[in-house]
Structures are given as structure tokens and as C-alpha cells.
């Protein structure tokens, strides 16, 4: 009964406060703008992927046509681009494109998708250096600043709305002298403040979750309801953390302006300063190994490999005795020789890359430990991961491309070694890349930790708030 009265009064207060209504309307507009932005980015990616796929179809058609002409007696257009050669058909000319479609909720979070490559042309020459390529063409300045997407609004700006709604939830009552009056009614401080904050929290959460659901609906994200639920869960917990913090600060019995200063300070510390400190600490304490070594190794290996190709081929055949019978010793064998050199260079680069990746994974896992210092870091990771624009999805894609490149080589290498001649059937028979979305259980497994930590952070501020509210007395 009492709670319903409080909620009713809250709704009346809200309707009567033009500043508050304007603030909410402003946030509504900001959400819409962020969603449009995210959708535009996804549309751009999709257009690119259509172009990429069309180009691949075009390439295949040209190869088949040329092979058909050659079969009918024509000469190849160029000796170096003769599609009958397995190193040409398996090389750049016949390459297939491995494509990572935008994540299920990509319109909600641009995440790392403006930075990491989302398609690769895969050929027999695909090696670890392939993965060093840049992603989309983008102004470095724009990459540095980042986009105005929903994830940005939720992580950075939403807490400010929460603070504006919650900083004086109790202190203003005391300052206006209405606290004693309110408490003369048969209600507790806990019930009053709790009901008021829950009312406001439901508005903010409704706004945040509502915008997310609209975005998900428009971009077809409901195909993966689990991810939508995970996203919304992160939004709810993150919002509750900030409301809990506001409630707790209110129980300290300070003035409204002190509360506001403290809360804005907390926002600044948790959303801006701590993540920046984490990044600098990560860079200093756990520096990334240098990629330069990979280049140097590749250069040295190719310098040496060119001079010792026959030796390398012999060694390669020792490792792959099943190929030995296939190698022909005539002129076509030069393809086998240079393939042996390629394999050797790839092998040495892969060694360096494996070492590098190990160090990188270690560095990332250490940095991930620091997330506990800031709910904003936790929220960002959860949102990116749920949206499918986080680091893991791109790393998983790279892994799938590596495996596909293996299959690709397995298809062409026997012909390279035996000097085989490729036909239009061989064009059609080339392996095809199919992206396998990561099973949702994997996402959940990764998200459980940060979700629990976010819940813990929310409870760490809410529990003392509830205890503190029990101790508040009406007298100023």
C-alpha cells in the first residue's frame, strides 16, 4: 500500500519535472542516434561482403572460362597466370574468400570490428603474415576516438543519467525538510528510498533495454535470443550498480552537492581513469612482444630458403614420405622446389607466431584480471562479446581461416609436387569456407565470470546502502 503511494507520487513528480522529462527525451534521442550509427556501420560491412563474394564468383567464372578455352585449344593469356598450374589456381588467382559476417547484434556495438579484418583471401600462400593485414580502411583518428554506438552510450553516458536521477534521492528530502514529514507516515526510509530508486531504475533500465531490443529487432538479432538476453543482463546489472552506488552515497548523510561531486568523481574514476590506468599498466608491466621479429624471421628464412631449395625439398619429402613418389624430377620440379622453400619460410614464421601468440594470450589474460577494478571494463567486454564484436570472435574466425588454409593446401600440394595440371573440375572442387558460429555455450562460459563480477560489484554497493538506509533517522 505504502509503496504504491510512493510510486504514484514518483510518477507525479516525474511528470511535473520538465528538466527530468527533457533529460529522458534527450537520452531517447541519443539512443536512436547510436542505433542508427551502428546500423549504418553494419550496412557498410554487409555491402563490402557482398562485393567480396561477387568478386570471388567473378574470379571463379573467369578461371573456368579460361580453362575451357585452353581445353578447346587456346593458349593461356599469360605464362605466369596459367590457370592449369596448381600454384596459380591455388595461389592468389584462384583464392577463395573466407568471410566473417557481422555479429548477431553488431548494430548495437561496433567493438573491434572496425579494427580487425573480417575477410581474407585464402590461397596456398596464406601464412601467419596474412593475419597481420589491416582491417577496413579507416581514418586512424576515427579509430582512436571510436564510434557513437549503443555500447558507448550504455557504458559512458547511462551512468550519468543514473547519477542525475539518484544523487539526491534522500539528501534532497532532508534538505527540503520533507524527510521528517515523510517518515511521520507509516513507512520506513528503506521503503521510501528503495521504492523511489526502483521506480527510477525501471525507467532507465526500460530505456536501455528497450533501445537494445529495438536495435536487436531491427538488425535481426532475435535469431540468437541467448545473446540478446546476455546483453540485456549486462545492461541491467551495470545500471543497478550505478543506482546502488547512488543509494549508498545518499546514506552517508552528506549534502546533495557533496553526493553529486562524489558520484561524478566515481564515474570519472571507474569509467575514464581506471580503464586508462589499466591500459598503461598493461603496457608497462606486461608489454606486448614486438611483431618485428616475425618479419625479420620471415626475411632471414626466405634469404636462406632461396639458396637451399633442393635441400629443403629433400627434407620436406623426409617429413612427408607419402609425397615422395609424386615428385617429378623434370622442369616442373622447380614448382616443387619453390614450394619447399615456401613451406620452410611458413614453418619458421609460424614458430615465431606461435611464440608471439602465447605471449599475447598471457598478456591478455593478465589484463583481463584488471577488469575487476572497473564495472565499465566488465560491461564493455560483456556487451562486445554478446554482440559478437569482441576479441574472441575475431580470434575464433582467424583460427577457422587457419584450418581452412590447411585444407586448401592439402587440395593443391599433391598437384604442385607432381607437376599436375588443373582442370575446370579442379576449379569447382576447390574447398569452400563456411563460417561456423561459435556455440552459444562458449559465449556463456566466457560471460559467466564477468557477469558474476558485475553482480558482485552491484551487491557490494547495494548491501551497504540497504544497511545504511535502515540507520537513517528523520531528524536532520
Of residues 50 and 406, the one with the C-beta less far from another protein: 50
At 288 the three-state DSSP class reads coil
Of residues 171 and 462, the one with the C-beta less far from another protein: 171
Q: Does 115 bind another protein (CB under 8 A)?
A: yes
Report helix, strand and coil shares of the chain as percent, to nearest 5.
Answer: 75, 0, 25
User: Cell triple for residue 166?
Assistant: 539518484
Residue 107: CB minimum distance to another protein, A: 14
Residue 377: CB minimum distance to another protein, A: 6
Residues 215, 231: Cα–Cα separation, whole Å:
12
User: Cell triple for residue 70?
Assistant: 585452353
Of residues 144 and 331, the one with the C-beta less far from another protein: 144
CA torsion 295-299-305-307 (nearest 10°) is 180
Tell me the number of residues near another protein by CB under 8 A.
Answer: 74
| Sign of the dihedral defined by the CA atoms of residues 271, 276, 281, 282, in that order | positive
Looking at residues 200 to 259 of the shown chain, list those that interact with another protein (rule: CB under 8 A). 257
Residue 258: CB minimum distance to another protein, A: 10
Strand partners, 474: none
Looking at residues 95 to 114 of the shown chain, list those that interact with another protein (rule: CB under 8 A). 111-112
Q: Give the rounded distance of the alpha carbon of 324 from its chain centre.
A: 45
- Burial profile 96-111: b = 16 or more Cβ within 10 angstroms, e = fewer: bebbbbbbbbbbbbbb
What string of DSSP letters covers 123-187? -TT--GGGGGS--S---HHHHHH----HHHIIIIIHHHHHHHHHTTTTHHHHHHTHHHHHHTSS-
Return the DSSP state at 270.
I
Of residues 69 and 138, the one with the C-beta less far from another protein: 138
Q: Does 286 bind another protein (CB under 8 A)?
A: no
Residue 357: CB minimum distance to another protein, A: 10
Return the DSSP state at 271.
I
Q: Does 57 bind another protein (CB under 8 A)?
A: no
Looking at residues 251 to 280 of the shown chain, list those that interact with another protein (rule: CB under 8 A). 257, 260-261, 264, 268, 272-273, 275-280
Choose which of 16, 57, 284, 329 interacts with another protein (CB under 8 A): 284
Choose which of 135, 226, 253, 333 interacts with another protein (CB under 8 A): 135
Q: Does 147 bind another protein (CB under 8 A)?
A: yes
Q: Does 51 bind another protein (CB under 8 A)?
A: yes
Q: Does 436 bind another protein (CB under 8 A)?
A: no
Looking at residues 348 to 377 of the shown chain, list those that interact with another protein (rule: CB under 8 A). 360, 364, 367-368, 370-371, 376-377
Of residues 21 and 272, the one with the C-beta less far from another protein: 272
Amino acid at each position: 500500500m505504502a509503496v504504491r503511494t510512493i510510486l504514484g507520487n514518483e510518477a507525479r513528480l516525474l511528470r511535473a519535472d520538465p528538466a527530468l522529462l527533457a533529460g529522458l527525451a534527450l537520452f531517447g534521442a541519443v539512443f536512436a542516434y547510436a542505433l542508427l550509427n551502428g546500423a549504418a556501420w553494419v550496412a557498410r560491412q554487409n555491402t563490402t561482403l557482398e562485393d567480396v563474394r561477387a568478386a570471388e564468383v567473378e574470379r571463379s567464372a573467369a578461371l573456368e572460362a579460361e580453362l575451357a578455352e585452353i581445353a578447346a585449344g587456346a593458349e593461356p593469356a599469360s605464362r605466369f597466370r596459367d590457370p592449369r598450374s596448381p600454384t596459380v589456381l591455388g595461389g592468389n588467382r584462384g583464392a577463395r574468400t573466407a568471410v566473417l559476417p557481422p555479429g548477431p547484434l553488431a548494430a548495437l556495438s561496433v567493438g573491434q570490428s572496425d579494427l580487425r579484418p573480417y575477410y581474407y583471401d585464402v590461397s596456398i600462400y596464406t601464412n601467419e603474415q596474412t593475419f597481420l593485414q589491416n582491417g577496413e580502411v579507416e581514418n586512424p583518428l576515427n579509430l582512436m576516438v571510436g564510434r557513437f554506438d549503443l555500447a558507448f552510450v550504455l557504458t559512458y553516458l547511462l551512468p550519468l543519467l543514473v547519477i542525475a536521477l539518484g544523487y539526491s534521492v534522500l539528501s534532497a528530502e532532508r534538505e527540503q525538510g520533507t524527510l521528517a514529514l515523510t517518515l511521520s507516515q507509516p513507512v520506513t526510509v528503506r521503503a521510501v528510498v528503495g521504492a523511489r530508486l526502483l521506480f527510477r531504475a525501471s525507467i532507465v533500465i526500460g530505456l536501455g533495454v528497450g533501445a537494445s531490443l529495438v536495435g536487436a529487432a531491427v538488425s535481426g538479432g532475435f535469431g540468437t535470443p541467448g545473446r540478446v538476453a546476455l546483453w540485456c543482463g549486462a545492461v541491467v546489472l551495470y545500471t543497478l550498480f550505478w543506482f546502488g552506488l547512488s543509494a549508498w552515497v545518499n546514506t552517508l548523510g552528506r549534502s546533495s552537492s557533496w553526493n553529486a561531486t562524489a558520484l561524478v568523481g566515481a564515474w570519472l574514476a571507474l569509467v575514464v581513469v581506471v580503464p586508462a590506468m589499466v591500459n598503461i599498466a598493461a603496457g608497462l608491466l606486461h608489454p606486448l612482444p614486438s611483431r618485428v621479429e616475425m618479419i625479420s624471421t620471415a626475411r632471414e628464412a626466405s634469404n636462406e630458403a632461396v639458396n637451399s631449395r633442393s635441400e629443403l625439398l629433400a627434407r620436406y619429402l623426409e617429413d612427408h614420405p607419402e609425397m615422395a613418389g609424386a615428385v617429378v624430377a623434370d622442369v616442373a620440379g622447380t614448382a616443387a622446389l619453390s614450394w619447399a622453400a615456401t613451406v620452410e619460410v611458413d614453418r619458421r614464421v609460424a614458430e615465431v607466431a606461435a611464440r608471439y601468440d602465447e605471449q599475447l594470450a598471457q598478456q591478455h589474460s593478465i589484463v583481463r584480471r584488471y577488469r575487476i577494478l572497473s564495472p565499465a571494463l566488465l560491461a564493455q567486454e560483456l556487451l562486445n562479446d554478446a554482440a559478437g564484436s569482441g576479441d574472441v570472435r575475431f580470434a575464433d574466425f582467424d583460427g577457422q581461416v587457419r584450418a581452412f588454409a590447411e585444407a586448401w593446401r592439402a587440395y593443391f600440394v599433391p598437384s604442385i609436387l607432381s607437376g599436375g595440371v588443373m582442370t575446370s573440375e579442379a576449379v569447382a572442387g576447390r574447398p569452400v569456407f563456411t563460417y561456423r558460429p561459435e556455440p552459444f555455450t562458449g559465449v556463456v562460459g566466457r560471460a559467466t565470470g564477468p557477469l558474476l563480477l558485475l553482480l558482485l560489484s552491484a551487491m557490494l554497493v547495494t548491501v551497504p546502502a540497504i544497511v545504511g538506509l535502515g540507520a537513517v533517522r528523520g531528524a536532520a
